[in-house]
Amino acid sequence: MRLIGSKEDEQNWQSKIHTLGPFCLLLWDDPINERVVRNETLYRGAKLEPEQIVTYQNMAAEKKYGSFQAFSSCSRNRELFEEFGNTLFIMDVDAAFIADVNQMSEYPKEEEQLITPGVCFSVQRVEFDHKTNK
């Protein structure tokens, strides 16, 4: 997951503006993206390095906000994303523009949702599950 404030990731996404920007605008203006998603739980699996996990722990302790710096794929299907990486993000969405791309997906069982760049989040807690070692 790309973190706000990461100079390495910032330069990476900024280098894509000329090509990805127009595509993002089309996706944003797409008629299927007319509604704001409210009160929904989404999941995302990721492989994080220990120092990245510490960053999220600090965000939770300091009650800091972050934002998604790129389109981020997630799902309504928790079981599917529990398999990815060493980290499971459980996101309780209060209100956000999220594109439901499930109808266009080659893998409809994934129930894929696309979080648009700029959506803010806060980390409520970071837990280690001894059963799954994640």
Name the pLDDT band for 6 (thresholds 50, 70, 90). low
How far from the centroid of its chain's Cα atoms is residue 94's Cα?
Answer: 14
Q: Note the pTM of the prediction, 2 decimals.
A: 0.70
Segment 59-113, tens digit of pLDDT: 899 988 888 888 888 899 998 888 888 888 888 888 877 888 888 888 888 898 8
Quote the number of domains for the chain: 1
Residue 51 lies in a domain: yes
- DSSP letter (8 states) at residue 110: G
Contact 44, 81 (CB under 8 A): yes
Name the pLDDT band for 33 (thresholds 50, 70, 90). low
Domain of residue 52, CATH code: 3.90.176.10
Contact 99, 30 (CB under 8 A): yes
Contact 121, 127 (CB under 8 A): no
Domain of residue 20: give its range.
7-29+38-122
| C-alpha–C-alpha distance, residues 72 and 39, integer Å | 18
